[in-house]
Amino acid sequence: MTRLTEWFSAGRSSGKHTLPFVVILLTMTLLASAANLFLPADSALYVSTYTITLLGKYLCYAMLALAVDIIWGYCGILSLGHGAFFALGGYAMGMYLMRQIGDRGVYGNPLLPDFMVFLDWKELPWFWLGMDHFWFAMLMAVVVPGILAFVFGWLAFRSRVTGVYLSIMTQALTYALLLAFFRNEMGFGGNNGLTDFKEILGFDLQADSTRVSLFMITALLLAVLFVVSQRILSSRFGKVVLAIRDAESRSRFIGYRTDRYKVWLFVYSAVIAGIAGALYVPQVGIINPGEFSPINSIEMVIWVAVGGRGTLIGAIIGAILVNYAKTRFTAIMPDAWLFALGAMFVLVTLYLPKGLMGLYAQMMAKRRPAKTQESEA
């Protein structure tokens, strides 16, 4: 308990809003969960299971936005390929969930998923072996995105690829994976992806208690990753990363191996994205190649820009607000939502370059002189 307090204290010292934000996040999560489990459905305060699932999805997106902000806001690397790491983590979880179906599938095959039986596969591919174990699947959910990020980052950053060229390369990476996973012979379900999940760790995925548990786990992991990220970025490592963002050539000149810092931060960011994907799949019930779409990666950048990059809190808030707006407006004007999203990004870039957190900081700065004058009077 003492160790946990030290970690949260470190987060508070690096940002005065860290501890209040974590407390608010966990409190709201507990209240929403209790309102679903313990209140009758006809109560005005009842939170439906559908809403719990929707909130869980928003928190997964918030975790993904946190990953993007770490690499973009603090290191200046605009990645348009984080959807790839998110989807890879999701596929790892989806493969585990498919193995849990067993003989309850449409074709009743205890070993092969339904799509493999339909495609006349005779045996399980080697990369599916071990995916019936939860611990192994979760290990793959972080190792595979981490290895991909390491290889890509090592090649790109050692070659000193930066700016728009790096952004295009990350976008090309996720698009290549999109095309690969669409192919049936890859063994990941083709364009239909993986779905029809039954249970996780023996618990029915359709049960209210399971949905609430997944929601609470997502919120807890988001809080932990947020505090850990705050601590990392406020450490000596984080200060070097900021120096690289602001003046990479000078940082290199005084002796820092900037490529190594960028590679490891990129890997850490990719691992967070993989965790977000693994939590996302059991809550939404499907994973398909559409998650690799470059458009999704561009949306992630918009979330961070709206909330305020380089703040972490802003990325989380931006992801939740933009996705809530998406849920509401796609029902009202489904054909015009993408235009509204583009307009939002343009307006934020022109009038709120530091996002909502920047606007909040400006408002607080204006209030402080007023309070100072009142106290002096």
At residue 337, does pLDDT exceed 60? yes
186-197 per-position pLDDT tens digit: 999 999 999 999
The whole-number average pLDDT for the span 61-86 is 95
- Confirm if 298 and 82 have CB atoms less than 8 A apart: no
pLDDT at 143 over 80: yes
Name the nearest CA neighbour of 113 among 125, 92, 94, 99.
99
Strands (E), 49-174: none
Backbone angles phi, psi at 376, to 5 degrees: -70, -35
- Look at the block and give the residue holding tokens 């049960």: 207
Q: Long-range pairs for 362-368 at CB < 8 Å and ≥24 separation?
A: none
Q: What is the average pLDDT across 60-72?
A: 96
pLDDT grade, residue 374 (50/70/90)? low
Q: What pLDDT is stored for residue 153 in this prediction?
A: 95
Q: Report the C-alpha gap between 134 and 115 in whole angstroms.
A: 21
The amino acid at residue 80 is L
Burial 298-313 (b: 16+ CB within 10 A, else e): bbbbbbbbbbbbbbbb
pLDDT at 6 over 80: no
User: Among 39-43, 83-87, 104-108, 233-237, whose mean pLDDT is lowest?
Assistant: 104-108
d(CA 144, CA 88): 7
Interval 232-261 mean pLDDT: 92
Q: What whole-number distance in Å separates Cα of residue 168 and Cα of residue 79?
A: 8
Q: How confident is the model at residue 157 (pLDDT cuts 50, 70, 90)?
A: very high
Cβ atoms 30, 284 nearer than 8 A? no
Mean pLDDT of 3-31: 70
Q: Which helix (H) or strand (E) holds 246?
A: helix 236-253
Residue 356's pLDDT band (boundaries 50, 70, 90)? confident
Structure letter (DSSP) for residue 104: G
- Confidence (pLDDT) at 110: 87
Q: What local confidence, expressed as pLDDT, does residue 376 receive?
A: 55
User: What's the pLDDT band for 371 if we cut at 50, 70, 90?
Assistant: low
Give the per-residue pLDDT at 341.
77
- The model's pLDDT over 15-26, given as tens digits with 9 standing for 90+, comes to 577 889 999 999
Unique residue bearing structure tokens 């313990």: 38
Task: Note the pLDDT of residue 92.
Answer: 96
The average pLDDT across 46-63 equals: 95
Question: At residue 375, does pLDDT exceed 70?
Answer: no
Sign of the dihedral defined by the CA atoms of residues 122, 125, 129, 132, in that order: negative
Dist. CA 338–CA 375, nearest whole Å = 49
| pLDDT of 173 | 94
Q: How far apart are alpha carbons 170 and 166 in whole angstroms? A: 6
Phi-psi region of 287 (alpha: psi -120 to 50; beta: other; left: phi over 0): beta
CB 259 within 8 A of CB 158: yes
Give the list of residues 6+ apart from residue 286 with CB closer than 8 angstroms, or none: 94, 193, 194, 195
Whether the CB-CB separation of 177 and 290 falls below 8 Å is answered with no
* Residues 89-129: tens digit of each pLDDT: 999 999 999 999 988 888 888 889 999 999 888 899 999 99
Q: Is the pLDDT of residue 13 over 60?
A: no
Percent over 70 (pLDDT), the chain: 93
The pLDDT assigned to 361 comes to: 80
pLDDT at 11 over 70: no
**What pLDDT, on a 0 to 100 scale, did the predictor assign at position 203?**
93
Residue 7 clears pLDDT 60, i.e. is over it: no
CA 306, 312, 315 angle in degrees (round to 5)? 25
- For residues 193 and 362, which has the higher predicted lDDT (pLDDT)? 193
Average pLDDT over residues 328-349: 80
Q: Residues 280-326: pLDDT tens digits?
A: 999 999 999 999 999 899 999 999 999 998 999 999 999 999 999 88
DSSP 140-180: HHHHHHHHHHHHHHHHHHHTT--HHHHHHHHHHHHHHHHHH
**pLDDT of amino acid 17:** 77
pLDDT exceeds 60 at position 10? no
Average pLDDT over residues 240-251: 92
Q: Which of 290, 317, 319, 291 is nearest to 303 (CA)?
A: 319
Residues 257, 26: Cα–Cα separation, whole Å: 39
CB atoms within 10 A of CB 258: 20
* pLDDT level of residue 351 (50, 70, 90 thresholds): confident
